[in-house]
Structure 1
Amino acid sequence: MNPIRVVVWGENVHEQEQQEVRDIYPDGMHTTIKQGIEENLGERVEVTTVTLQDPEHGLTEEVLRNTDVLVWWGHAAHADVADEVVERVHRHVLAGMGLLVLHSGHWSKIFGKLMGTSCTLRWRSKNDREIVWTVDPTHPIAQGVPHPFIIPAQEMYGEFFDVPAPDELVFLSTFSGGEVFRSGMTYRRGYGKIFFFSPGDQDYPVYHQKEVRRVISNGVEWAKTVRPERTDPVLLRYEPEDFYNGHGYTGAMDN
């Protein structure tokens, strides 16, 4: 079986501008996330990284065409992501590319476009404790993940989280202030599968934690769409009793 082709997209802004973030992630958060996926999945994956600063943000048509699963981390520079790149990623997700959106990626252009909502939430930037509870222990993303597991230092995300009701709720988090948050959710858009996972603020070493790395790795395996080829969902016209040979359709008046 061919390995899953994974691209980890990192904004790579905090690491360049804040020494305290560089101290935690000296090679960038995208590299730490990549290492966690490789640590768990080994030869089952081929993982590369690209960043906001790369030409076309590293997400050219060729790169996306050869990506099974895209992992996205962004925070400080959502507005700097070019709209044409967002459109390109969106098209590939609908055609079957898997997408993992991490932490502050909830406010990325691509996640907002896929959700169709504001994606706003309650938050508190403070050294908080997060307990991640498994809501669906039968889900593939939850396999091998302790129930619950504790993140000793983390930013608080809380409800209300303005996203559509998920297809599946896998994890729910609680915080020291009594807040709750749907921290691990799946969606399907077109032929693509999407997993949102909230733990991972840049100010804390969350992506070094083994449980978080396991969840992300499980998400990568789950998000790969099994289809013979990547194709866009299209509208076709079918004659009666012809179940397999659809014809092109350009508009209501074109019969």
Structure 2
Amino acid sequence: MIKVTIWNEYLREKSREDVAKVYPDGIHGAIADGIRQEGFAIHTATFNEPEHGLTQEVLNDTDVLIYWGHAAHKEFNDAIVDRIYKRIHEGMGLIVLHSGHHSKLFQKLMGTSCDLLWREADEKERLWVADPSHPIVEGIGPYIDLPEEEMYGEHFDIPVPDELIFISWFEGGEVFRSGCTYRRGQGRIFYFRPGHENYPTYHNKEIQRVISNAVKWTAPVKREKTFYGFHEPLEQIKK
């Protein structure tokens, strides 16, 4: 059973009526409901919990961390960023959603500003599948249509992805690399663009399917812990 921790700031839902109307149980609640049928062991955590809900004990018991943040990137504790970063290098999977691109964690992992163009104009988004052979798009057709979303546009200041899974087109004309995979240490990372808090994106069955598939893909490989440091020779070395 894959152990999933869904982290959400859970700030906009409590401060804005329009967001609370779309996500009455929080974005984390909607994501949990959308992937629960896969049989994952699901835990949720939010910004205002002690240590942002991401204690060492929680992270040690997490196979895949799903991360949604927007309003409090600068206030996120640096020591907890380092804690998550270390766990990813040890093999924990990470799924970064939407505006999590500007989180301290994602910027640290990418080593870039992760800046982009943006516009909130209730416009249509079409996510084209760029790699139909990838496990993350299992069960998904050639594209996903979202009737209203926030626009993100190129240039997206990220390293060249290991794999490009989705490319978005927006009604206003922009395109964007909306599904990107990376590997850091022994951990797998998937960045997935859709999910502005004003729109019911995480209630969409195809978006839920992509996230479920991404959990399975980013989950750590079960194997003996990798050893680093001095190592005795396996064979006799002839002098």
Q: Distance in 1 between matches of 2:222 and 2:182?
A: 17
1:76-133 Cα shifts (integer Å, max 9, x gaps)? 1111110011000000000000000000000001000000000000111110100010
- Aligned residue number for residue 74 of structure 1: 69
Post-superposition offset of 1:229 = 4.8
Question: Counterpart of 1:21 in structure 2: which amino acid?
Answer: V
Letter matched to residue 201 of structure 2: V
Whether 2:132 is the aligned partner of 1:152: answer no
Contact 1:96-1:230 within 8 A present in 2 as well: no
1:250 counterpart residue number: none
Does residue 177 of structure 2 align to residue 179 of structure 1? no
Query: Do the aligned partners of 1:183 and 1:197 also contact (CA within 8 Å) in 2?
Result: yes
Q: What is the correspondence of 1:6-85 to structure 2 with a 5 Å cutoff? A: 6-39=4-37, 41=38, 43=39, 45-85=40-80
Mark the runs of 5 or more structure 2 residues left unpaired by the alignment. Answer: none
Task: Give the match's secondary structure for 1:22.
Answer: helix
Letter in 1 for 2:122: N
Aligned with 2:127: secondary structure? strand
Q: Tell me, which stretches of 5 or more residues in structure 1 are unaligned? A: 244-255
Structure 2 partner of 1:193: 188
Give the counterpart letter for 1:26 in structure 2. Answer: P
1:108 equivalent in structure 2: 103
Structure-1 residue corresponding to 2:218:
223
TM-score (norm 1): 0.89
Matching of residues 237-248 of structure 1 within 5 Å: 237-238=230-231, 241-242=233-234
Query: SS at the partner of 1:80?
Result: coil
Deviation for aligned residue 1:238: 4.0
- Give, as a single letter, the amino acid of the residue that structure 1 aligns with 2:200: P
Q: TM-score, normalised by structure 2?
A: 0.95
What CA distance in whole angstroms lies between the structure 2 residues aligned with 1:66 and 1:237?
29
Selected match of 2:164 from 154, 169, 186: 169
CA distance in structure 2 between the aligned counterparts of 1:230 and 1:65, rounded to whole angstroms: 14
Residues in 1 aligned to 2:94 and 2:231: alpha-carbon distance in whole angstroms? 32
Q: What SS class does the counterpart of residue 190 from structure 2 fall into?
A: strand
Using the aligned pairs only, state the percent identity.
Answer: 51
Q: What is the CA distance between 1:200 and its match in structure 2?
A: 0.3
SS of the residue 2:83 aligns to: helix
Q: Which amino acid aligns with 2:234?
A: D
Distance 2:43 2:144 in 1: 28
**2:9 alignment partner AA:** E
- C-alpha contact (below 8 Å) 1:146/1:211 kept by paired residues: no
- Structure 2 partner of 1:253: none
Find runs of 4+ consecutive structure 1 residues off by over 3 angstroms. none
Give me the whole-angstrom Cα distance separating, in 2, the residues matched to 1:36 and 1:216. Answer: 9
Cα separation, partners in 2 of 1:229 and 1:8, compared to 1, 3 Å: farther
Deviations 1:199-242 (A, max 9, x none): 000011100011111111100000001132555x73x2345x53
Tell me, in whole angstroms, the C-alpha distance in 2 between the residues paired with 1:31 and 1:76: 18
